[in-house]
Structure 1
């Protein structure tokens, strides 16, 4: 493990929507720019349906900074989990959907560092955000924003059907 990086950062939310509807949304990587305060655009660079092995390129922002990352789907369990690994920093980001009760879901966003975080990523975090903990605090806040936006979109659709 790389020192100074949290092995896991996770946030979750209860969503008043059917788990299948929540899943359909989070399993579409192109939709991330609607929710994430960091992702401006995602371009899937492989053909066919999204699944393990699908590759994508993301344009990200943090304040005035813009940067590109390359990702590959590493876990894809339909209706349950969608996870991508970011090549540049070696982190794994996942979305997990769980039914809670009839018409209610729990959605968790998780960032894992199973192979540590690359040295260059840690240096950049220290350079641009002054510390790794400060950068991770930003990530956690971004996760909460993302969850809030997904929740709003899912619940608006669910309530429109009622």
Structure 2
């Protein structure tokens, strides 16, 4: 499992709204360009499905995702069908009580589809893919922090 954390001077509900808005995630992530809820879902809820849009360099792809944890102000997590990766965000009070610690994490829960393994091995979406994912998590959290602290 990979995880990255950052302190944010903002209320947990505000941070949760940002991380659970899959339609707006493209403004934070260097790879995810956003998503759309799949009917009948229209927002974050346990079991809701969404389609993610991603890009790295010249390569574009979509993902089919299902929300597996969803508690306002505390946690938002989803599983990606193609890559068999579970992504999540945990929001916990910071030590001072003035904000939160936001942790983004990812873990593999199965073997990715053959096409995903082939593309990863080719380097088309970057060599040292696992390291790129952690670097992307750091970038994402930094951008979320900026927006959350502005209010």
Specify if TM > 0.5.
yes
Q: 1:19 aligns with which of 4, 7, 12?
A: 12
Question: What do the CA deviations read for 1:89-145 (whole angstroms, capped 9, x no partner)?
Answer: 11100011001132211001101112244443232211125987x001111111011
TM-score (normalizing by structure 1): 0.84
Asked if the contact 2:21–2:43 (Cα under 8 Å) also holds between the matched residues in 1, the reply is: no
Q: Give the corresponding residue for 2:65.
A: 71
Alignment-derived partner of residue 54 in structure 2: 60
- Where 1:136 maps in the other structure, the secondary structure is helix
Alignment pair present for 1:121 and 2:116: yes
**SS of the residue aligned with 1:29?**
coil
RMSD of the alignment, in Å? 1.8
Unmatched runs of 5 consecutive residues or more in structure 1 = 1-7, 158-162
Partner of 2:100: 105
Question: Which structure: larger Rg?
Answer: 1
Question: 2:126 touches 2:132 (CA, 8 Å); kept in 1?
Answer: no
Ranges of 4+ aligned residues in structure 1 off by more than 4 Å? 129-132
The equivalent of 1:4 in structure 2 is none
- Closer, same or farther in 2 for the Cα pair 1:152/1:42, shift >3 Å? same
TM-score after normalising by structure 2: 0.90
- 2:37 paired residue number: 44
Instruction: Report the number of matched residues.
Output: 149
Instruction: Structure 2: give runs of 5+ residues left out of the alignment.
Output: none
